[in-house]
Amino acid sequence: MQVKRQSNGQVITLGSVIASGGEGEIREFPPDSSLLAKVYHANKLKDIDSDKLRVMLTNPPDDSVKKNHGCVSIAWPVDLLLSINGHQQIIGFLMPRVPKQQVRPIHDYYTPKTRREENLGFNYLSLHRTARNFAGAMSALHAKQYVIGDVNESNILVYDTAMVTLVDTDSFQVPDFQQGKVYRCPVGKAEYTPPELQRRKKFADYDRTPEHDLFGLGVLIFQLLMEGMHPFEAVYQGSE
């Protein structure tokens, strides 16, 4: 599959597919092994908001972890990929590679059975560090007025060093201050959605705030420190 890199006009043949989902494919990027390409499925191209991706590209969050430790904490788009036909439509983007063999989704670490069976070697201090690093990555996003929106256990990847990388960033809520527009996050997971939003029919119909993210952050920190238990999991069964 050939694409054009927007930043320099270079036509590139992408490598093999390493993952595929409902929106698109993740492919190897042969010119630079530190990057991966996300290419949207043809039937999803009409849903791509090109302006949203451009805003993300020109205003990335400050990734202090990458600067100080060399580990990407937010897998943010670094370049756009265009079709090579005459229209040069945006069909995907480049993002930092997260070494799959070195990371696991956060739920593997807060689930005691998985930690034990997989011999992950995470103690309570490691779980605390994971919570701190997750909070730091979220704070960096909020500093630029971005909102994750879809806070969930599958989009937070954790290294054995307790470093954290947030993925699926193209679903985040993105403000465009120049145009006075907000590109909303269309998805969410009930377990990490605050009560005031639970009855909303479509996430794409309203703006979310950093406080909504913080609810999900609180739930995940509780799960990390309380052996995977959800803070609102209990149901009162008394007579009074």
Residue 216 dihedral angles phi and psi, to the nearest 5°: -60, -40
Is 150 catalytic? The answer is yes
Q: Catalytic residue among 47, 49, 51, 150, which?
A: 150
Give how far the C-alpha of residue 11 lies from the chain's centroid of Cα atoms, to the nearest Å: 27
120 within 8 A of 64, measured Cβ to Cβ: no
* Residue 182: HSE in the Cβ half-sphere, 13 Å Cα cutoff: 16
Q: Containing H/E element for 158?
A: strand 156-159
95 within 8 A of 36, measured Cβ to Cβ: yes
76 within 8 A of 169, measured Cβ to Cβ: yes
Active site residues: 150
